[in-house]
Amino acid sequence: MSKKTKNFRPRARRPKGFEDRYGALANAENALIGAAAGVYHAHGFEPLSTCALEYADCLGKFLPDDDRPNEGVFAFTDDDQQWMALRYDLTAPLARFVAENYDPLPKPLRRFAVGPVWRNEKPGPGRFREFIQVDADTVGAPGPAADAEMIMLAADVMKAAGLANGEYVIRINNRKLLDAVLAGIGVADTDEGAIQRLRVLRAIDKLDRLGADAVAQLLGEGRKDASGDYTKGAGLDARGINAVLAFTQAGRAGLEATLSALDPLMGASDTGKDGMDELRAIAETVQACGYDDGRAMIDPSIVRGLGYYTGPVFEADLRIETKNEKGEPVRFGSAGGGGRYDDLIARFRGQPVPATGFSFGVSRFAAALHALGRLGEEAHGPVVILALEADQMTSYFAMANELRAANIRAEVYMGGSGMKAQMKYADKRNAPAVVIVGEDERASGEVTVKNLNLGKQLSGQIKDNKEWREGRPAQTSGARQALVNMVREALNR
């Protein structure tokens, strides 16, 4: 007798670093997207949506992918054996789009974009492999005024997302200053030097999270983390490590004080001088517009981890704290950032095209709000119209449409269960009210509206329509024509 083949059942599981979003979290992300997009739109930026997949050579190697094309990104080869990758940000696809459509586009081009991006990196608390970004970029504007606008735009987005002054700061730096420091310690302008420079950037980018001692290891030979994973270092000697750390620690209270502290570190470098001039121009604009009230500061430790930045860089830093399950303080750090990338489009066109932008990390920000208990629930769910008679669905839909036309969120129960189950469903949906039209109500041309402020308590007590009519707890009945007013009264109560 042959054995019966057992059907394969996959284990339901979510990949590491990926999140499912439902209800309050999804609503919060949508609200944050709307807030950021509203700021961008008010500033005159136009929407652009690019594809999720790009050819890997179009994305460019601006992540730590020294050994293989798909390190740092999710990549595969297509039928033509060309490497394709999921976009790791919204900026590299913008560069491809501009290069492909350069002549007909207005310049400067002001665009904003919304969408998920993917990083094939080690996940952690608040660090996802898939996350949503909302970007704004100006392409074709060469001066520091465009960078200053992005910095002020970033502050406006933080405010629109619900943060008060003091709960965030936009930290500003210039990559040219670090270039001058690295040139001074002998990092060569070669392909090998470019790899070393990228590792320096990646090390400094971890300063807030790991601290100076760990970053010193990453600037040197390398570091093994608590899990045993080893990260190869930038290979700087002791003098180089000290010079880089001294640069990152040159920040002072106030824009002018930090500029004065940075000046001696630049020496006679023309690159450093250019970077200082750009920072001064940005500081003047930020001060003139009143954003030096704690919303913006110069911080030399900000370098940004991506390799394509060529000048000013900045990050939106969350200054609010919470505690983890062990009672230890937790800071969330960056919720977005950006900077100038004048060479990114030049990869396609062979000539510089100035560009600057800001990216708001929606998923990270929503995770921070959730941890802080600020995510919140909607005030209530939809009004639920109970479906007590299968042959009356059209009349139930008519009522739902009537409520929605009056700007009241409403739905018709679509399951196949009875009265008690429908009431429990309304409780789980956090419905403020249910609308009842059974055989008796229909015969008399009436509707019954039940206020569910005590929904969960009452749903376990109501067993049938007869008990509902006899008890009539927190409910009113009236003419069918009065449906909207009756529901509004229930919502007001």
Instruction: Give 3-state DSSP helix, strand, coil % of the chain, rounded to 5.
Output: 40, 20, 40
Alpha helices in 79-187 (DSSP H): 91-100, 144-160, 175-184
286 phi/psi in degrees, rounded to 5:
-60, -45
**Residue 64: both structure tokens together:** 């730590």
Residues 95-150 pLDDT 10s: 999 999 999 999 999 999 999 999 988 887 667 899 999 999 999 999 999 999 99
Question: Would you say residue 19 lies in a domain?
Answer: no
pTM of the model: 0.80
Taken as a whole, the chain contains a residue count of 493
Give residue 39's domain range: 24-371
Percent of the chain with pLDDT over 90: 55
The CATH number linked to 429 is: 3.40.50.800
Query: Does 157 share its domain with 76?
Result: yes
What is the per-residue pLDDT for 193?
Answer: 83
**Residue 347: both structure tokens together:** 């990869």
pLDDT confidence tier of residue 66, bands split at 50, 70 and 90 = very low
Question: Would you say residue 91 lies in a domain?
Answer: yes
Which residues, other chains included, contact 468 with Cβ-Cβ below 8 Å and sequence gap of 6+?
419, 436, 448, 450, 462, 475
Query: Does 326 share its domain with 411?
Result: no
Query: Does 258 share its domain with 390?
Result: no
| Three-state SS at 95 | helix
Question: Would you say residue 376 lies in a domain?
Answer: no
Distances (CA, A) of 284 to 19, 274, 327: 42, 16, 42
Identify the CA nearest to 455 among candidates 480, 484, 424: 424
Query: Does 335 share its domain with 395?
Result: no
Residues 469-481 pLDDT 10s: 555 557 889 999 9
Question: Would you say residue 15 lies in a domain?
Answer: no
Query: Does 160 share its domain with 273?
Result: yes
The burial of 372, by beta-carbon neighbours within 10 Å (0-12 exposed, 13-18 middle, 19 or more buried), is given as middle
Query: Does 388 share its domain with 269?
Result: no
Residue with the larger pLDDT of the pair 459 and 130: 130
Helices 175-184 and 191-204, packing angle to 10 deg: 120
Q: Tokens 């890997």 belong to which residue?
A: 56
Q: How many CB atoms neighbour CB 73 within 10 A?
A: 23
Question: Would you say residue 397 lies in a domain?
Answer: yes
What is the per-residue pLDDT for 433?
Answer: 94
Query: Does 399 share its domain with 364?
Result: no
Query: Does 226 share its domain with 98?
Result: yes
Query: Does 293 share its domain with 337?
Result: yes
Domain count, the chain: 2
CB 218 within 8 A of CB 199: yes
Instruction: In whole angstroms, give the CA distance from residue 81 to residue 77.
Output: 5
The CATH number linked to 43 is: 3.30.930.10
Residue with the larger pLDDT of the pair 68 and 85: 85
Of the residues 350, 371, 392, the one at which a domain ends: 371
Amino acid of residue 52: A
Residues 116-129 pLDDT 10s: 999 988 887 667 89
Query: Does 130 share its domain with 199?
Result: yes
Of the residues 339, 371, 403, the one at which a domain ends: 371
